[in-house]
Amino acid sequence: GQQLNQSPQSMFIQEGEDVSMNCTSSSIFNTWLWYKQDPGEGPVLLIALYKAGELTSNGRLTAQFGITRKDSFLNISASIPSDVGIYFCAGFSSGSARQLTFGSGTQLTVLP
């Protein structure tokens, strides 16, 4: 099946720093989504990307759909304590009957 390689697996950063994480795939995706999951909660959709090369922002978050359609990155600027959580990328390809393929997640810890 399709797989997404998400990195890094975990990150420890100082409050105020910027952070970047990415997902890559060996196959083409038509849609990239980024989710955040807080402890004990379900994932919450942060950003959706539908076009290769698309760059979309949501507050301090910026995500891009790679030109090759095989990768995406998420940047968080000026991190704050509430950014702590697990960030998942997810991709959809036309051959997967509306199923999303999820990355393994990036655990973000923000140190005061």
Partner 1 sequence: GAGVSQSPSNKVTEKGKDVELRCDPISGHTALYWYRQSLGQGLEFLIYFQGNSAPDKSGLPSDRFSAERTGGSVSTLTIQRTQQEDSAVYLCASSSLAGGHEQYFGPGTRLTVT
Task: Kindly list the residues in this chain that would bind partner 1 in the complex (CB under 8 A).
Answer: 31, 33, 35, 40-45, 48, 50, 88, 90, 92, 97-100, 102-105
Q: Which is nearer to partner 1, 77 or 100 (CB)?
A: 100
Least Cβ distance, residue 6 to partner 1 (angstroms):
8
CB of 77 to partner 1, least distance (A): 23
CB-wise, 17 or 50, nearer to partner 1?
Answer: 50
DSSP string, the chain: ---EEEE-SEEEEETT--EEEEEEESS--SEEEEEEE-TTS--EEEEEE-STT-EEEETTEEEEE-TTSSEEEEEE-S--GGG-EEEEEEEE-GGGTTPPEE---EEEEEE-
- Least gap, CB of 95 to partner 1 (angstroms): 13
Q: Which is nearer to partner 1, 20 or 99 (CB)?
A: 99
